[in-house]
Amino acid sequence: MSRAPAAAETIRARTRLRLSAALLSGLGLLALTALALAVGKYPVAPADLASILGHRLLGLPVRAPATAETVVMQVRLPRVIAALVVGAALSAAGATYQGLFRNPLVSPDILGVSAGAGLGAVLGIYLGLPVAPIQVLAFLGGLGAVAAVYGVGLAVRRHDPVLTLVLAGVAVGAVLGAGISLLKVLADPYNQLPAITFWLLGSLSSVTLGDVAATLPMMLLGLVPLVLLRWRMNLMSLGDAEARALGVETRVLRPVLIASATLITAAAVAMTGVIGWIGLIVPHIARLLVGPDYRRLLPASLLLGAGYLVLVDLIARNLGTVEVPLGILTALVGAPFFLWLLASGRRGFS
């Protein structure tokens, strides 16, 4: 008789705990965002920042210098928004792919997205195109690579579909990587080659409001199905036979999930270049914090990824005059933290 109320009490307590955890992470993210807007290489006084934001949000009269307004609205704001969205998106895509392929070593570029997007961007730089077509080529390259991999997966029927996709992704990625190397060899070593190298390293340094506006709809288009289908991912991660036995149509669900995660990744890479490690490590950190249930894992990955990339970018643009490429910092900051969390081993891993 006393067991049922006690269980209900436990559930309520857990719900409260989860709500407060979500609220706390939300507040933390907000504070981090505010800090990211306030700090940078161009000094903007806190009063000016408040005046600029007050003007934009509440229509108050602006009393800040024009350049400070440019810095906040045209440089920092798009950068912070892009960091939030790209961090969240790459982490969600990583979590999705890891469940989909039932493999903890999988990252968002498993199906050749980054290699395809990289080849598209490098081709654009090699041809001397302006930035916008370079980004379009990168986006199309990423989608094209995954379409090719998926086409191979459909054509090959004799093997395990998941294994086929992963192997096809490795092979297609290798071919595209060779294409990138070929263009690097052909490129002008004094002008194009450094540009290609810097592009491939990944950076948020030149994200504009236009980039954000063009990329955001695609990100949302990819994120919404992932969030809505997150409880089905639990079933997908059991394997095809079990998922089907539980009534999940894997032949429909898998392409939807792959398409969504690919769209996100291709859009992110087209805008920022290749930012490695986030999509691999953040889902694991989230898993160590909230467990393997995708109903919680996916939101946790989104929040952690967003905060993590804002933090890393904050470091990247304040460390020195030279911008440190993000891929380097995500590995330097993320991997040791991940190892520490792994060693402290508080939660089940899979």
Partner 1 sequence: MAPRPGRRALAAALILLLAASGGAAARPFTDAAGRTVELPERVGRVLAAGPPAAVLLYTLAPDLMAGWVSAPHPEALPLLEPRTRALPAYGRLTGRGGTANVEAVLAAKPDLIVDSGSLGPTYASLADRVQAQTGIPYILLDGSFAKTPEAYRQLGAALGRQSAADALAAEAQSLADTVGRAVATVPEDKRPRVYYARGPRGLETGFTGSINTELVEAAGGRNVAQDGGGRLGNVSPEQVLAWNPDAIVTLDPAFAAGLSADPLWRNVRAVQSGRVYVAPLQPFPWFDAPPGVNRLIGLRWLAARLHPDLFPQPMPDVVRAFYSRFYHVDLDAGQAAALLGGTATGAPPGPAR
Residues that bind partner 1 (CB under 8 A): 40-43, 66-67, 70-71, 74-76, 124-125, 128-131, 134, 184-185, 188-191, 194-195, 198-199, 203, 205-206, 208-209, 317, 320-323, 325
Backbone angles phi, psi at 59, to 5 degrees: 75, 20
Report the C-alpha gap between 284 and 94 in whole angstroms: 9
Task: Output 70 or 103, the one with its CB closest to partner 1.
Answer: 70
What letter does residue 76 receive in the DSSP assignment? I
Shortest distance in whole angstroms from residue 191 CB to partner 1: 4
Task: Output 156 or 328, the one with its CB closest to partner 1.
Answer: 328
Shortest distance in whole angstroms from residue 75 CB to partner 1: 5
Residue 90, sorted as left (phi over 0), alpha (psi -120 to 50) or beta, turns out to be alpha
Task: Output 205 or 237, the one with its CB closest to partner 1.
Answer: 205
Task: Output 198 or 338, the one with its CB closest to partner 1.
Answer: 198
Q: Which among 135, 115, 130, 229 is positioned nearest to 181, based on CA atoms?
A: 115
Report the C-alpha gap between 18 and 308 in whole angstroms: 20
Task: Output 156 or 331, the one with its CB closest to partner 1.
Answer: 331
Give 117's Cβ-side CA count (13 Å radius).
30
Report the C-alpha gap between 219 and 233 in whole angstroms: 19
Shortest distance in whole angstroms from residue 205 CB to partner 1: 4
Shortest distance in whole angstroms from residue 58 CB to partner 1: 22
Shortest distance in whole angstroms from residue 185 CB to partner 1: 6
